[in-house]
Structure 1
Amino acid sequence: MTRIDATFARLAQEGRRAFVAYVMAGDPDAETATEIVKGLPAAGVDVIELGVPFTDPMADGPTIQLAGQRALEGGMTLDRTLDIVRALRAEDDTTPVVLMGYYNPIYSKGVDRFLAEATEAGVDGLIVVDLPPEEDDELCLPAQAAGMNFIRLATPTTDDKRLPKVLQNTSGFVYYVSITGITGTGAASAAKVGPEVARIKAKTDLPVIVGFGIKTPEAAREIAGVADGCVVGSAIVERIGKGDSVADVLAYVKSLADGAHSA
């Protein structure tokens, strides 16, 4: 059982929804990003989603693209991203960490070497947005063999014919993208999300977590109320990009976590 599995089992037993927070590794700089990551569990974050900066982030909107650019300009790499995870693990051995990014940096490093180093660092799961289920042999199956969860995205355009393929070999949780398009655009609607979550849950026992378009504690509560939890990314990254202090960023994260946990 991974840390992700254990966390969702505990939350289910407590009758609580999960709050997942996304931040970009190395944004605005390595030291500040590490401090933010280390502060997320105390702010109520159940799962940390840590972005790996990449030069061509095709699924991300302007806010996260800019965060990735800032991180890359500051010298952030895949190896230094793993160092942030190690810094967290020195203080916290229970909060799950999911790396979210693109396949190229992993491929360049070598899958076997990456999985060995990521496992040693304390990574629990992967979201790799440009590897479809048809490419499971590339990374998904080796990651699971290494004891890591491989988390997939389902979207409003994932129809009933495609859904079983998306769910195949998925573990940890299913990430439902509440709106079509890139990150940081639009607003999630519980009225639209609820039926879609129910459709997915009819096909899997995995938790379904909803992300994209959540910016307020009220929205976090509303969306978490029709799913097993919610993810907030762009709204947090935007605060970091504006230069908010670590304390202010973490206070905002806590308000979102409190919203999700009140669902």
Structure 2
Amino acid sequence: MLYTLLPPLPTRHTPDQILTEEQGWLRDCARDGQPRAHLWQAPQCLIVTRKDTRLPRYQAACEQLAREGWPVHVRDSGGTAVPHGPGILNLSLLLPRTAADLAHYYRLLGAPLLALLGEHGLEGSYDFVPGSFCDGQYNLVIEGRKVTGTAQRWLAPGQDHGGAVLAQAMLLVAGDVNEGTRMASRFYELAGGELRFLPDTSTTLAHCIGWRGSEEQLVAQVQRRLQARLTGN
């Protein structure tokens, strides 16, 4: 499948603003049936779910984490808290609703990412990784460690549209993934939740291919390759 690639948003946009923009694009997709793709990055932060905002010490946790350089933002899709930052590339697919099962959309989301890993000589697969943040059946995994987390949000059919699906993936290209894992656990510790995540359950593309260059350069290279795969150009 080929996608219309959405233009990058201004760098001043916060993750909350980016995710709100995607909700508008999702409604557009529901109305015109045109699949879209959005590639984006966020500064260092944690992105949590609506459910997490109901934890007993949520507000206090947000204030403390902001002081520690990890501001908290909220998304509408499911899962758990996840770390974001300069080494993480996010892919959002906005898809017309044509099937009734989650697996169909997760496989559409995973297809370009698995192909990208294959370009680097890596064999990825879908699997659970117990102890990882936002664990799920449709993690992309390399040698037992998560390299991509995934989530979905469905827009129900309305009077003027047939519904749409937002499928999101975060590709761990580079950076200190154990530190991100630790901070996701710290959110739940501070907020009064029970979830905790284990170190060494996730990995990065940079680690898997033995990258020795600039992490920023690798992220830019991966973004260009994904753009080409998504648009056919």
Answer yes or no: same fold by TM over 0.5.
Answer: no
More helix by share: 1
Instruction: Specify which structure has the higher proportion of strand.
Output: 2
Q: TM-score, normalised by structure 1?
A: 0.29
Q: TM-score, normalised by structure 2?
A: 0.32
